[in-house]
Structure 1
Amino acid sequence: MGIKSFQGARKQQSATEDSPSLRVSDYMSTNLITFSPDQSIETVMEALIKHRISGGPVVNEKNELIGIISEGDCIKQISDSRYYNMPMQDRTIKDHMALNVETIDGNMNIFDAANKFLEAKRRRFPIVENGKLVGQISQKDVLKAAMKLKGHNWK
C-alpha cells in the first residue's frame, strides 16, 4: 500500500502573476480636480488651497486636455496684478495656463515615468487616451509605487 497525498492539484502560476504591475495606469489618479478655461484665477486659487494640490489639468466641455494651471501661474498673476495695479477678480485662467502640456502614456513603465519626471522637472503628467483626459500621475504617485514595489525584482 503506497502513501497517498491529500494535497490537491496545484494551480500553475504564470510568471507575471507574482510580479506586481509596473504600468503608470495602475498608479495614476483618476479622480481628478479639473478646471475650465473660463474659471477665474481666484476660484482656482481657492480650489488649490482647499484640495491641497499644486495645480491641475484644464479641460474643455468634452474633457479634452487644453492646458495645466499651477500655483506658480496663480502667483505670477498675483504679482502682475499688484505691479500693474489691475484687479484679479474677473481674470480667467485661459490666458494664464500652460498650453504646451506634456503627457505620459498610461502603459509606460513606472520607472521610465520616474526618469521622465527627472528630465522634465515637472510635478505631474496628465494621461490622455483617445483625446480625453483619463488620469494624472504625480511625483508622489511614483513614490507610492516604489514603496509598494519595494522588495520586488524591478526589471
Structure 2
Amino acid sequence: MGIKSFQGSRKQQNVVAPSSLKVKDYMTTQLITFTPEQSVQEVVESLIKNKISGGPVVNDRQELVGIISEGDCLKQLSESRYYNMPLEHDNVEKRMVRDVETIDGEMNVFDAANKFLSSRRRRFPIVENGKLVGQISQKDILKAALQLKGENWNSTIKTSNSA
C-alpha cells in the first residue's frame, strides 16, 4: 500500500495574475543615457563610475537612436590601439548599435524573461510615443520574480503558461 498525503482545507491564497506583472512596473526610469556626440572616452568613464554595462543613446528630443555597450567601447579601444588613434577622437555615433530592439511596457515579465533568453540581450529599452521612458534588464526581471511570494509563483507560472 502506497503512502497517501492528506492536506486539510486551506485558506484562499492571493494569486498574482500574470497580466498584472507588467514590464513598466519593474523597469528602471532613472536612466543614464548618452548622446551621439559624446566621446567614447566619456562613455567608458560613465560606465565605470556608474557600474553599468551600457546604456541607451538619445537625441535632444529624448528619442532612442541607439545603444552603446562595454563591448562597443572595447572594440573602439582595440582599433584605436591598432591604428594608433587616441580614444577621445571617436564618438558614440560611430560606435553605437543603431538597430535597437525594444520591449513593450505592457508586456508581462514572464514573456519578457523569454525574450531575454531567446535574444541573449542584457537590457531592452521601453519607448512610448517615440520617447525613451525606461529600460528593463535581466536583473529587473529577477527582482520582479523575488517580489512574488513563493506560494504564488507556481500558480502564476501555470496561469501564464496556459494563457
TM value normalised by structure 1: 0.86
Counterpart amino acid of 1:116? K
SS in structure 1 at match of 2:30: coil
Between the aligned partners of 2:93 and 2:58, the Cα distance in structure 1 is 10
Q: CA deviation at 1:87?
A: 1.2
The equivalent residue for 1:96 is 95
| Deviation >6 Å, runs of 4+ | none
SS in structure 1 at match of 2:48: helix
Q: CA deviation at 1:88?
A: 1.5
Larger Rg: 1
Which structure 2 residues correspond to residues 30-69 of structure 1 after superposition, within 5 A? 30-69=29-68
Counterpart amino acid of 1:19? V
The equivalent residue for 1:13 is none
The equivalent residue for 2:16 is 19
Give 5+ residue unaligned stretches, structure 2. 1-13
The equivalent residue for 1:113 is 112
Give 5+ residue unaligned stretches, structure 1. 1-16
Deviates more, 1:119-128 or 1:87-96: 87-96
1:113-145 CA-partner distances (Å, limit 9, x unpaired): 000000110000000000000000000001101
The equivalent residue for 2:137 is 138
Q: CA deviation at 1:18?
A: 6.0
1:67-90 CA-partner distances (Å, limit 9, x unpaired): 000000000000000111111112
Report sequence identity in percent: 65
TM value normalised by structure 2: 0.82
Deviates more, 1:68-77 or 1:88-97: 88-97
Between the aligned partners of 2:15 and 2:144, the Cα distance in structure 1 is 16
Between the aligned partners of 1:124 and 1:144, the Cα distance in structure 2 is 14
SS in structure 2 at match of 1:74: helix
SS in structure 2 at match of 1:89: helix
Q: CA deviation at 1:19?
A: 2.5
